[in-house]
Amino acid sequence: MNDQLGPLAHPLAAPVDYQIDERRVAWITLNRPHRLNAISADLVEGIVESLDRATADDARVVVLRGAGRVFCAGHDLVEDDQSALTSRAWVDGLQDITRKMRGHCGIVVAVVHGYALGGGFEFALAADLVLATRSCIFGFPEVEVGLSVTGGATMLLARLLGPLRAKQLLLLGERIGTVDAQRLGLVNWVVDDNDVGSRVNAVVEQLLDRPGASIRLAKIAVDVGLENDMATQLDLEAEQLLSLVGTVDAASAREAFRLKKGH
């Protein structure tokens, strides 16, 4: 991937590298490139801790990426202690990644390259926006090795694709490329490897250019709208609008818009 994608992860650092820049953009890097960023207990702990730090730092944008050739190759079935799979505490920790990504007050952008398999695919599903390289491969191999998904993929996939297509991916473990993933609504942007850095930075700047409260409430409304009935959702949207219309951010944004249009 392009080295211009935010601050570089420390090559000898912990399994997950966390950095935040002066714009309050948090960069979380899966940093086990020698194991293709496969999921281990240390990696799970590091992601959870990094998401907690992003919340404490009030990060407006969180970029989740992988060091090396691959975003995340799924669970580490070679080096990691397999007895952890029988621990509910370990599973809860893994699921905390989904909870914290979807619950973060800012926007979470997953930058995916190489492979996003198993839990790596789930990390992408839990993000608010997904940018993937053209050659990336997505898939859920869990059933092939006698396991099951744990990060909410059964719900998220079914909502995005419908139950038949979700079952096809989960039961058969079919791999799909980035273009097909975008066609199915699983990826926002498809980019060439050399363009990743510039495209991610452009997306981040667009997000930072929007009023923080407005973009945060829009994220919440879409997420809870998956559960709400129409009456409840309309009430929520009305409450959100009324809470925003008198804010300084909203007034500044409207004034900037008028100036841009020449009024």
CATH classification at residue 59: 3.90.226.10
C-beta separation of 212 from 60 below 8 A: yes
Give the predicted TM-score (pTM) of the model: 0.89
**What are the pLDDT digits (tens) for 27-42?**
999 999 999 999 998 9
Q: Which of 98, 128, 38, 48 is nearest to 74 (CA)?
A: 38
Between CA 246 and CA 248 the distance in angstroms is 7
Considering the domain boundaries, does residue 9 fall inside one?
Answer: no
Three-state DSSP class for 7?
coil
**223 and 133 within one domain:** no
Between CA 260 and CA 116 the distance in angstroms is 40
Largest CA distance in the chain: 65
Task: Give the tokens for residue 30.
Answer: 């899966």
Domain count, the chain: 2
Considering the domain boundaries, does residue 1 fall inside one?
Answer: no
Taking the CA atoms of 213, 9, 91 and 57 in sequence, report the sign of the dihedral they define: negative
**200 and 219 within one domain:** no
Between CA 199 and CA 207 the distance in angstroms is 13
Q: Please, which residues bridge with residue 30 across strands?
A: 16, 66
Query: Average pLDDT of 201-207?
Result: 96
Q: Which of 50, 80, 53, 83 is nearest to 64 (CA)?
A: 50
What is the CB-side half-sphere exposure of residue 100 using CA atoms within 13 A?
22
**What are the pLDDT digits (tens) for 47-102?**
999 999 999 999 999 999 999 999 999 988 876 555 556 678 878 888 999 999 99
What value does the mean pLDDT of the chain take? Answer: 89
**150 and 65 within one domain:** yes
**235 and 135 within one domain:** no
Considering the domain boundaries, does residue 2 fall inside one?
Answer: no
Considering the domain boundaries, does residue 154 fall inside one?
Answer: yes
Domain that holds residue 246: 212-261
Q: Is pLDDT at 159 greater than 60 in this prediction?
A: yes
Position 232, amino acid: T
Between CA 112 and CA 72 the distance in angstroms is 8
